Amino acid sequence: MDKDWRWRIFNRFKRLSKEQPFKDKCFLYRFWQDEEGATALPPSEDIATAEDQLMENLGTLVNRGPDAYLRMILRKQGHERTADDLEIIYEELLHIRALSHLSNSVKREIASVIVFEAHPKAGTVFYATKIARIVGNSNARMFHQGDEGRSWYIIVRGSVDVVIHGKGTVNTLHEGDDFGKLALINDAPRAATIVLRENNCHFLRVDKENFNRILRDVEANTVRLKEHGKDVLILEKITSNTKQVFSSHFKYTVMAGTPQKMLEHLLETRLDGRGTMGGGDNFIIATAQDPFLDDFLLTHIVFLPTHQLVEELDK
């Protein structure tokens, strides 16, 4: 192999990682925003060259590094995201453990506001848009105990330690976990310090204003049935994109509840003839919008075994 050609290949790897090219051999790309000290746009010549090569490089990355395309979308402002962009983000959110308890409608709301944040190098403190150096500390802190809560974070790569004054490290969070929610909900200072355990950590972030707005929307569209001071059935309003007017029984879907109350709701709104809307295509459309009946029939054995179901139906 020609020596000069080998050297050019080596330089390509070196420009990619800029620190440990062969150790980081699985890194197929690096965004300029992730570089240490990246506070200004690259030169106009570099931008023009990058734009000329964008489509070709995107085609390669979609096959070899599909997360790169998602990261590019997540760097857009919410108003710049297309319907296809939002669908790609939404599909990704479906697989994140920290969001598994949220309804699909809430996930779609989050898809329009969630952003990507990378912390490539340990030894720095990250305050929103400012970066400051820690002297003599090998770890990076995302925020300190007592700081104002500004964002909710979900880990998509890497891990962090949760540290409390006087107690030390009380927990370690990994990919799929989230943190920072409590301070936003209670409008209180951070209850712990979050320390990056490794370099090149990636996060999804929802800022306080959007987090609070989405939560308020959820609560406004949520009906809670209580008995003896406890929630026994939680319903969420269905958002319909169709122009068809459905029966009032289909305006809300079940999000949680006791087995008995969920069965009672099912019998009253789905199986007594009032919720079928005459059958046919209308019933199929309504069922697609609210799959509670299918979900109940497929999963009831987990929380309501068949013999108990028969007993409840006999009452």
The whole-angstrom separation of Cα 120 and Cα 199 is: 5
Dihedral in degrees, nearest 10, Cα atoms 86, 88, 91, 95: -110
Per-residue model confidence as pLDDT tens digits over 91-109 = 999 999 888 878 888 999 9
Type of residue numbered 169: T
Per-residue model confidence as pLDDT tens digits over 226-246 = 777 778 888 877 765 444 444
The whole-angstrom separation of Cα 10 and Cα 260 is: 66
Per-residue model confidence as pLDDT tens digits over 46-93 = 777 777 777 776 666 666 666 777 888 888 888 899 999 999 999 999
The whole-angstrom separation of Cα 122 and Cα 1 is: 38
> What domains can you pick out in the chain, each with its CATH number?
1-25 (no CATH), 66-220 (2.60.120.10), 223-314 (no CATH)
Instruction: Compute how many other C-beta atoms are within 10 angstroms of the C-beta atom of residue 32.
Output: 12
Average pLDDT over residues 26-34: 54
Average pLDDT over residues 111-139: 57
Please give the mean pLDDT across all residues of the chain: 73
> Which one, of 174, 194, 202, 211, lies nearest residue 75 by Cα?
202
